[in-house]
Structure 1
Amino acid sequence: MTPFGFATATRIAFGPGVAAQALAAAPTMGARAFVVTGATPARAAWLVEGLADSGVAALAHACAGEPTVADAEAAVAAARGFGADLVIGVGGGAALDLAKAVAGLAQARDPLDHLEVVGRGLPLAGEPLPLIAVPTTAGTGAEVTANAVLGAPEHGRKVSLRDARLLPKLALVDPDLLIGLPRAVALASGLDAVVQVIEPYLSRMANPLTDALCRDAIPRGFAALPRLLAGEGGSAGARARADMAFTSLCGGLALANAKLGAVHGLAGVIGGRTTLAHGAICGRLAGPVLAATEAALPADHPIAPRCREVRGWIAATLGGDPAQGWETLAAFADAEGLPRIDIAGAEADVAKAAALSSSMKGAPVPLERAALEAALVACRP
């Protein structure tokens, strides 16, 4: 067996109601909490009010959309002005990314010193502030990853602030927080969640531990997503929420330790050029890019049987012929109303820029630029 390592949050708690553990944990980590919320801060009012009752001063800071470097700089300034000694992120992947950026950059002089691709990519100069992560969507798995994704509009890219110390001290994955999730968000984030267990499973850096997580989570996520979108109630709805939340958690664990692939490599570039949500981009790219990935594999490549296995899981849960699994995935995205990607004929530029992405390092084989361009064309409106 090839040696491997595995890193994750200091502690993970999963299950209905576990979000409340933040109120007991916060006073053990700090006295002044900078709380990064999603675009609707009211969804985190229970936390801000509860912290006050626990003796922890709290300042809420809304993350209106997918964060940029400028957003991170503004949030860091606010956290410093408040004297924060603890950061809590409660929201979707964007809010958690901003929370991680604030925790990591609290002692930094210039974010560009630490950003990949557009900066120097240096390790953080000081110890990050302790971080509690509470996801309210099932998608990115950001509660257990060691990077914060930030938009750099002037470069037309999304880039990462990456450091092992960005892993949260506590990750609280509460499926009940998915109740009331808008359908479009559930679709985009849910597709992102399944892609983030597929790509690590097909990664050249996969290991036995990430394989175990992905083998369970891929069929689980595909089976749960249509049920979540249908808005099932009662125990069936609770199971769908739990299965999607678990799939997302497994995706974060897997990608942090086995990397991703061409879907996310392209998504990072496209995200810097459009206003589409990251999950929607990944969900739209998944079918054609994974088909191109499998087509590029030699018949005897060790990842080839895994591609067939994933196509079988798609057929078993979404229907169709296993041989047409990638096409079935693309058709599912269409049928559920996922937006298409309009990058105004910039496919060649996007494919070229994506080659620099960290995610591409996980691809089982390098993809020819022509294959990436063809996959992008298939995503046009």
Structure 2
Amino acid sequence: MGDERVHEVVMFELATAGRIVFGDGAIAKLPSIVSSLAGGEARCLFVTGARVERFAHVRQALEGAGIAAVPFAVSGEPTTELAREGTALARRERCSIVVAIGGGSVLDAGKAIAALVTNEGDPLDYLEVIGRGLPLTRAPLPFVAAPTTAGTGSEVTKNAVLADPTQRVKVSLRSDAMLPRVALVDPELTWSVPPAVTASTGLDAITQCLEPFVSSMASPLTDPFCREGMRLGAGALRRAYAKGDDREARRDMALCSVFGGIALANAKLGAVHGFAAPIGGSFESPHGAVCARLLPLVIETNVAALRARAPESPSLARYEEAARIVCGRADAKIEDLIAWGHDIARDLAIPALSTYGMRASDVETIADKAAKASSTKGNPIVLERAELIAILERAL
């Protein structure tokens, strides 16, 4: 099984969705799930991406079961203003449950709305970093998450990432109460995802298995999810990218996403996601592609810092084990893991950060914001400002 006792764990816990329903065709269970949570004549806020018609058959199935489905479309990544709009609509329509079917942005929007409907005030009252960070005092509306991409793991996490354009940053609304009541994971919903989105979301999923594995908060409960998620993701992503209807590859990537979501919700992430928050808030960029570009650079920098300043850190052994899992070789070293990260980013056409408009003049500001990000707190070592800047300069 590898280095099970690398970390000395004093206390740990595991929180995830109340129920996980996984399998091809699982979306057919949605009407019965909604009825069980909110009653047969429920009114649900039906949150989707911009192409609402894509899920007309799902909405019809809900309405055929006597469940009114109030549509709410999410175009792009969710903002504080969009959360306000969705919350107002759900209250106006007297919705008693929120169902979100879509990518990570759609799921995060639905999750945030479900929490804000029952808690008075503005999103900024509850947001981390830029807001007041107040705790939710009332339970959110029941929330059902049905992902259509294999990447963010939002279907099993307790936070919703929102962008605030005025402060050019993405931050989380977070509470244990925000864990979805049901994660409905149907790999068939990911078959139509185009190669570029498959690549960026898939590399995000793998990153979300790797970062919690080397995190300062890794535990015996999250380790198995990380190990299996890395193995599945590394073995399946190229196949899913090349052939979107590869049933086994899509199923493995969906599992990788779920496992990564469970891991990150309980063992934190690291500097890759610490960078991704301010980059995503400042530039219109796919979250997963940003993570993919940064991953091998962050690994290289973390390992150099650990070897120089904390050579006894258990995270070094963790990186060695991750290399063996991802590369699929018993003799793989950390340098092979770094090379794998560069190679797959190249082969899956992951662009440089400058593609999204980021310039050398932005580097210091992004580095300073990344140092304060919630995700960075899970990094296996505190990186110096110069190290953070160097990563970004190389990623341009």
TM-score by length of 2: 0.92
1:15 counterpart (23, 30, 36): 23
Structure 1 residues 128-207: aligned runs within 5 Å: 128-207=140-219
1:88–1:313 Cα change, 3 Å: same
After superposing the two structures, state which structure 1 stretch, 327-336 or 361-370, moved more.
327-336
Q: CA RMSD in A?
A: 1.5
**Counterpart AA for 2:337:** G
1:230-245 equivalent positions in 2, closer than 5 A = 230-231=242-243, 233=245, 237-245=246-254
In the TM superposition, 1:357-372 aligns within 5 A as: 357-372=373-388
How many residue pairs get aligned? The number is: 376
Q: Provide the C-alpha distance between the structure 2 equivalents of 1:127 and 1:167, rounded to a whole number of angstroms.
A: 11
Q: What SS does the aligned partner of 1:160 have?
A: strand
Instruction: Structure 1: state its 5+ residue gaps.
Output: none
Does the Cα contact within 8 Å between 1:98 and 1:148 map onto a contact in 2? yes
Alpha-carbon separation, structure 1, partners of 2:156 and 2:244: 28
Counterpart of 1:41 in structure 2 is 52
Describe the SS at the equivalent of 2:54. helix
Preserved contact between residue 26 and residue 186 of structure 2 (Cα < 8 Å):
yes
Q: Does 1:3 align with 2:15?
A: no
The question of 1:351 aligning with 2:367 is answered yes
Deviation at 1:321, TM superposition (A): 7.3
Q: Partner letter of residue 287 of structure 2?
A: H
Counterpart code for 2:263: A
C-alpha separation in 2, matches of 1:160 and 1:114? 9
Deviation at 1:370, TM superposition (A): 1.0
CA contact (8 A) 2:13 2:221 kept: no
Deviation string 1:4-61 (CA, Å, 9 cap, x unpaired) is 1111111111111112211111122221000110222122212211111000111111
* SS of equivalent residue, structure 1 residue 161: strand
Residue equivalent to 1:296: 305
Residue 81 of structure 2: aligned partner: 70
Q: Identity of counterpart residues, as a percentage?
A: 44
Q: Aligned in 2, Cα 1:321/1:213: closer, same or farther, shift over 3 Å?
A: closer
Displacement, 1:322?
A: 5.6
Counterpart for residue 5 of structure 2: none
Instruction: Deviation per CA, 1:93-147: give whole Å up to 9, x if none.
Output: 0000000011000032211110011111111132210001100100000011001
> One-letter code of the match for 2:395?
C
- Distance in 1 of aligned mates of 2:126 and 2:244: 44
C-alpha distance in 2 between matches for 1:328 and 1:17 = 33
Cα distance in 2 for residues equivalent to 1:156 and 1:40? 26
Normalising by structure 1, what TM-score?
A: 0.95
Aligned residues of 1:66 and 1:277 also touching (Cα < 8 A) = no
Q: Which moved more, 1:21-30 or 1:89-98?
A: 21-30
**Structure 2 residue ranges without an equivalent (≥5):** 1-8
| Counterpart code for 1:117 | V
Q: Which one of the candidate residues 243, 258, 267 is aligned to 2:276?
A: 267
Partner of residue 375, structure 1: 391
Task: Name which of 266, 275, 282 aligns with 2:291.
Answer: 282
Instruction: Note the C-alpha offset of 1:258.
Output: 0.4
What is the correspondence of 1:66-105 to structure 2 with a 5 Å cutoff?
Answer: 66-105=77-116
